[in-house]
Structure 1
C-alpha cells in the first residue's frame, strides 16, 4: 500500500504489539492514535473504509466511525475488514463474531474455513485466498499461474556468489520476527542456538532477514556484532533477494508468523518458534483449542513442521530440533510435500474467481489474486 502512494498518519510499528501483558504499557498511545484516526477518517469523508487485520485497533475504529455517522444521520461509508478474527483458534471463539455485523459490512477471509463461519454468524464474507500468493504473482511478473505452480524458486547460486559464501558452507535462514518485542525475545535464543550448532556444522553461515521496521533494524544491527557465526543481513521489502536466500539455505529457523507461509512457497523446511510474556503464554495455553501455532500445521491438522513454543523454546531444545531437521532428509521431504497441499488450500475457489471475471475485471495481476478479488468486491458494493 505504501508503494502505491499511501501516506500513513503514523508508523505502523507504533501499534504493532501482540500479547496481553505486552499491551498494557501501550494503552494510552493506542487511545491517542485511535482518536487521531477516527477524526482523520471523518474529515476525509470516505465512501469506503477498509481496515486490515489488527482487530483490536480496527474494530474499535469501525465501531466508533459507525456510531459517529449514526449520530450525524449522514450517509455512512461501507466498512470492509481484511482478515477474519481467528474464531477457530479459541475456546468460545465464535462468540467473537457476534455483533460484528453492526459495524462491519463485509469480511475478507484468507483461510478456507472462515467464510462459512462468518456467514453462520450473520456476516457477509468472501474467501479471497491468502495474501502470500501475491508474492508468486509479483515475482512471475503477473503471468497466469496454475494451481500446481504456487511456489517460488529463488537463485541460491547467485546469492552465494553475491555474498562470497563457500560452496561447502551450511546456510541457515533466520527470521526472528517483524515486531521489536518479538525480535528482542527471539534473537538471543537464535544466537545461543547457533553457538550450540557451530561445532556440528563447522562452516555454518546464517542469513538474518530484517523486517522493514527501523527499531528492529537498529536492534539487529547491534546484536550481530557479538554473533557466534558469520551472519548476513537481508533487508525487508526485497522479495527476490529473500527467495534467493531461501534457495541458498538448507533449513530455516523462524518466529511464528506469515514467514512460515513464505517458507512454504519456497519449499524450505523450517522450525517454528515463539516466546511471549509468561501471562500471555498462560492465557494461550488455557484458551487455545488447537494444538499448533504455525498455519501449515493448523491447515493440515498435523505437526508436519516442528514447533518449539513458550517454555519449551530454549536454545537447547531449538538446537536439538534444528539439528534433527538438518540431518534428516525424510523430514525435509515431508515438509516439502505438505507445502503442496497447503498452497492448494489457500487458493481462492473457482466460484470466487468466476465471480470476479463476471464483474468485468481484466486486471494485471490475474483476476484470481487475493488483492484483485478483494478490490472487485469493494467496487461492486459501490456500484449497487
Structure 2
C-alpha cells in the first residue's frame, strides 16, 4: 500500500515524500528524480485536452516544481491554468477537446494532425517523464505512438503516466481493455476508490491519489482555514450577493466543451423561461468555462436570456464557491461539476444530451444505471438526472421546483454528500491527517501524492 508507513516531516515542516520511493525498492534502475539530478533538470511533457484536465495538470505542475530538487521544465498541450505554471502550449487545448462518437467525425483529420505534431514535439523535447491527463482518446494514442517510436529507434523511453483512469467500470468489456494499456502506460493515477485494485489485477500499475476536486478545499484567497477532514468548502454568500446586488439565484453549469454548451444552454434557457412564471425575481448565474469558444458563444446568446443573468468567468475557485453559496439550487451538465456541487453542499439536477448516435452507443455499451458520479458511487439516484430525451425544459422545470420547495430532497443530497466526498480520498491519508497534528492537507493533496510518485518512480523495464 502506498500509505502504509507513517510519513515524516522535512525541516521546512512540509510532509516528507522520501518514504514513497520504498514502494519501488525491489525494482532495478534509478528513480526519475535521480535521472533529473544527473541532467541538472527535470523535463516533463504534459498533455491535457479538457478544462478539468487543465486544472489537474496545473496543480501537478505546481507540485512537481515545489518538490523537485532541480529546475523543472515543461512542454506539451494545456489551457490557461497550465500556462500560468509555465507551459507554452503547442496549440490551443480546444483543438483536441472533442467528446462523443458522431461529434468526433468532423474533427478526425485535425485530430490526426495534432497527434502527429504532439508526438514529434515530445520526441524533440527528450523528456524524462510524459504525463497525459484524462482525454483518453488522444492520450492513449499519443503514449502508444511515443513508446513505438522510441522502441523503433532503440532508445530508452521516458516514463509514461496517465492521470485519471479510464472509466472501465462504466462500460461492458471495460476491464478487458485495461490489459493492453500496460504496454505503453507505466502507471495510472486513479481518482476513484477501488480503481487501483482493478487496474493492478489486470496488469496495470496504479496509485489511488484521491479525487482532484478535493484540492478546492485549499483554494486561494479564501481566507478560511478549512479542515480537510470536514471535506467541505463554504463560499462567502453575503459578499457575492452584495457585490452583485442579487437575491437568491440558480447556478447554471452548461459544460466546458463548445459542443455540449451549444446543446445544453438553449435547454437551460427555456427551463428558466418556465420557472420565471413562479419566480418573478428569478436570477441565474451562468458559470462560464475558461474556453475561448465557449466564452464567445455564451456572450453572444445571453442577450436573449429570459431572466436576469450574471456571467461568471471560470478559473477562480473562490468566485465559483461564493456563487454556489449564494445559490438555492444548481442545474448542471453531467461531469466533474456534480462533485464540486457536493463539496459545496449545493443541491442540484444533472442534465445531459448528445447526438442521437452517441446516446444510442451509451445505452448499448454502458453497464451502469446513472451518469453522475455521486449517484454511481452510492448506486442510488440521490441526484435527479434528466438524460437524453428526458432532458427537456418541461421535465427540468418541475424537478427544480421540487428541489427548491421540498426540504426533504435537499437534505437527502446534503447528507449523501458527506458520504460521497469521504470516498474520494485515500483512507490511509485521512487517518494520518487526523492522527498527526503536524500534517496539513495542502501537503498531502492528490497532486502532491502524484508528484511524489512521479519523482520517486523507478522504471522496471
Q: Please report how far the alpha carbon of residue 147 of structure 1 lies from its aligned counterpart in structure 2 after TM superposition.
A: 4.6
Residue of structure 2 aligned with 1:334, choices 412, 416, 419:
412
Q: Please report how far the alpha carbon of residue 140 of structure 1 lies from its aligned counterpart in structure 2 after TM superposition.
A: 7.8
Q: Specify the alignment match of 1:155 in structure 2.
A: 236
Residue of structure 1 aligned with 2:443, choices 344, 354, 367:
367
Q: Specify the alignment match of 2:264 in structure 1.
A: 186
TM-score (norm 2): 0.78
2:380 paired with 1:302 = yes
Q: How far apart in 1 are the matches of 2:224 and 2:177?
A: 39
SS at match of 1:126: strand
Q: Specify the alignment match of 2:22 in structure 1.
A: none
Q: Please report how far the alpha carbon of residue 368 of structure 1 lies from its aligned counterpart in structure 2 after TM superposition.
A: 2.0
Q: Specify the alignment match of 2:422 in structure 1.
A: 344
Q: How far apart in 1 are the matches of 2:357 and 2:451?
A: 39
**CA displacement 1:215-267 (0-9 Å, x = unmatched):** 10011011110000000000000111111110000000000111111101110
Asked if 2 retains the 8 angstrom alpha-carbon contact of 1:348 and 1:368, the reply is: no
Asked if 2 retains the 8 angstrom alpha-carbon contact of 1:106 and 1:124, the reply is: yes
Kindly report which structure 2 residues correspond to 1:306-325, keeping only aligned pairs within 5 A, or say none.
306-325=384-403
Q: How far apart in 2 are the matches of 1:262 and 1:26?
A: 30
Q: Specify the alignment match of 2:17 in structure 1.
A: none
Q: Please report how far the alpha carbon of residue 145 of structure 1 lies from its aligned counterpart in structure 2 after TM superposition.
A: 5.8
Asked if 1 retains the 8 angstrom alpha-carbon contact of 2:229 and 2:430, the reply is: no
SS at match of 2:238: helix
Q: Please report how far the alpha carbon of residue 353 of structure 1 lies from its aligned counterpart in structure 2 after TM superposition.
A: 8.7
Residue of structure 1 aligned with 2:105, choices 3, 7, 24:
24
Asked if 2 retains the 8 angstrom alpha-carbon contact of 1:144 and 1:366, the reply is: no
Residue of structure 2 aligned with 1:216, choices 285, 294, 297:
294
Q: Please report how far the alpha carbon of residue 148 of structure 1 lies from its aligned counterpart in structure 2 after TM superposition.
A: 3.4
SS at match of 1:21: coil
Q: Specify the alignment match of 2:193 in structure 1.
A: 112
Asked if 2 retains the 8 angstrom alpha-carbon contact of 1:178 and 1:213, the reply is: yes
Asked if 2 retains the 8 angstrom alpha-carbon contact of 1:251 and 1:270, the reply is: yes
Kindly report which structure 2 residues correspond to 1:202-213, keeping only aligned pairs within 5 A, or say none.
202-213=280-291
Q: Specify the alignment match of 2:70 in structure 1.
A: none
Asked if 2 retains the 8 angstrom alpha-carbon contact of 1:142 and 1:366, the reply is: no
TM-score (norm 1): 0.94
**CA displacement 1:13-58 (0-9 Å, x = unmatched):** 1111111100100100010000000000000001111110001100
SS at match of 1:250: strand
2:336 paired with 1:269 = no
2:368 paired with 1:290 = yes
Q: How far apart in 1 are the matches of 2:407 and 2:284?
A: 20
Q: How far apart in 1 are the matches of 2:439 and 2:154?
A: 37
CA distance 1:285–1:383, shift in 2 (3 Å):
closer
Q: Please report how far the alpha carbon of residue 96 of structure 1 lies from its aligned counterpart in structure 2 after TM superposition.
A: 1.5
Asked if 2 retains the 8 angstrom alpha-carbon contact of 1:348 and 1:370, the reply is: no
Name the structure, 1 or 2, with higher relative contact order (CA <8 Å, separation 6+): 2
Q: Specify the alignment match of 1:378 in structure 2.
A: 454
Gaps of 5+ in 1: 355-361
Q: State the superposition RMSD in angstroms.
A: 2.0
Q: How far apart in 2 are the matches of 1:240 and 1:144?
A: 14
**CA displacement 1:185-244 (0-9 Å, x = unmatched):** 000000000000001111100000000011100110111100000000000001111111
Q: Specify the alignment match of 1:54 in structure 2.
A: 135
Kindly report which structure 2 residues correspond to 1:232-251, keeping only aligned pairs within 5 A, or say none.
232-251=310-329
Q: Specify the alignment match of 2:181 in structure 1.
A: 100
Q: Please report how far the alpha carbon of residue 292 of structure 1 lies from its aligned counterpart in structure 2 after TM superposition.
A: 0.4
Q: How far apart in 1 are the matches of 2:269 and 2:142?
A: 39
Q: How many residues align?
A: 374
Q: Specify the alignment match of 1:11 in structure 2.
A: 92
Asked if 1 retains the 8 angstrom alpha-carbon contact of 2:325 and 2:346, the reply is: yes
SS at match of 2:277: coil
Q: How far apart in 1 are the matches of 2:251 and 2:222?
A: 25
Q: Please report how far the alpha carbon of residue 170 of structure 1 lies from its aligned counterpart in structure 2 after TM superposition.
A: 3.6
Asked if 2 retains the 8 angstrom alpha-carbon contact of 1:69 and 1:76, the reply is: yes
SS at match of 2:332: strand
Asked if 2 retains the 8 angstrom alpha-carbon contact of 1:171 and 1:204, the reply is: yes
SS at match of 1:251: strand
